C-alpha cells in the first residue's frame, strides 16, 4: 500500500492575511483556493520540490461551533500549537531574506545540535522553526 501526507493544516484568524504572509513573505505558492459557500479550502506549498500542502483554515463552521472556534483562535494566538519546521540550505541567509520581507523573528539564528535554527510566528501566532539542512 502506498501512502503519503497530502495536507497538514494550521488554524489562522484570517485566510487573506495568512495567504499574503505565506506567499509574499515566505515565498510559498498557492496550491488550491476554492470556495463552497462561506467555506474556503486554501492550501499553499513551500518553495522547492513539491511535497505536502499547508492548509490555512479558519476555525468555525462546518467543523467547529462558535465556542470551539474561539478557543482554538485563542490557543493559536498564544503560540500553544506545536511548531512547524521549515528546512533551508542556509538559515542565516533565509532569515535575512524573510526579515527583509517583514517577518519578525522570535529567536535569532543560533548554532546548536550540529546545525543552525531560528524561530518566528505567523500573523495568527503559529510558531515556526527555520532549521538549516545538515550537510
Three-state DSSP at 89 gives coil
Cβ neighbours of residue 122 closer than 8 Å, sequence gap 6 or more: 10, 12, 18, 21, 22, 128
pLDDT by residue for the chain (135 residues), tens digit each? 778 888 999 999 999 999 999 999 999 999 999 999 989 999 999 988 777 899 999 999 888 999 999 999 999 999 898 899 999 999 999 999 999 999 999 999 999 999 999 999 999 999 999 999 987
For residue 112, what pLDDT is reported? 93
The CA-CA-CA angle for residues 81, 36, 42, to 5°, reads 40
Residue 70 host element (H or E): helix 66-77
Question: Residue 132 burial (CB < 10 Å; 0-12/13-18/19+)?
Answer: buried
For residue 31, what pLDDT is reported? 96
**Of 66, 45, 56, 70, the residue nearest 122 (C-alpha):** 56
The CA-CA-CA angle for residues 27, 30, 31, to 5°, reads 130
Q: Is the pTM of this model over 0.85?
A: yes
Q: Which pairing describes strands 105-112 and 29-36: parallel, antiparallel, or unpaired?
A: unpaired
Amino acid at each position: 500500500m502506498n501512502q503519503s501526507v497530502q495536507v497538514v493544516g494550521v488554524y489562522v484568524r484570517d485566510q487573506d492575511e495568512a495567504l499574503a504572509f505565506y506567499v509574499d513573505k515566505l515565498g510559498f505558492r498557492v496550491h488550491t483556493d476554492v470556495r463552497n459557500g462561506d467555506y474556503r479550502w486554501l492550501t499553499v506549498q513551500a518553495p522547492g520540490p513539491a511535497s505536502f500542502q499547508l492548509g490555512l483554515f479558519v476555525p468555525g463552521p462546518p467543523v467547529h461551533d462558535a465556542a470551539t472556534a474561539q478557543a482554538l483562535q485563542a490557543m493559536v494566538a498564544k503560540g500553544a500549537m506545536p511548531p512547524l519546521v521549515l528546512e533551508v540550505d542556509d538559515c542565516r541567509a533565509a532569515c535575512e531574506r524573510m526579515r527583509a520581507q517583514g517577518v519578525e523573528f522570535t529567536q535569532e539564528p543560533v548554532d546548536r545540535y550540529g546545525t543552525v535554527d531560528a524561530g518566528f510566528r505567523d500573523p495568527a501566532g503559529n510558531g515556526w522553526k527555520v532549521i538549516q539542512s545538515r550537510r
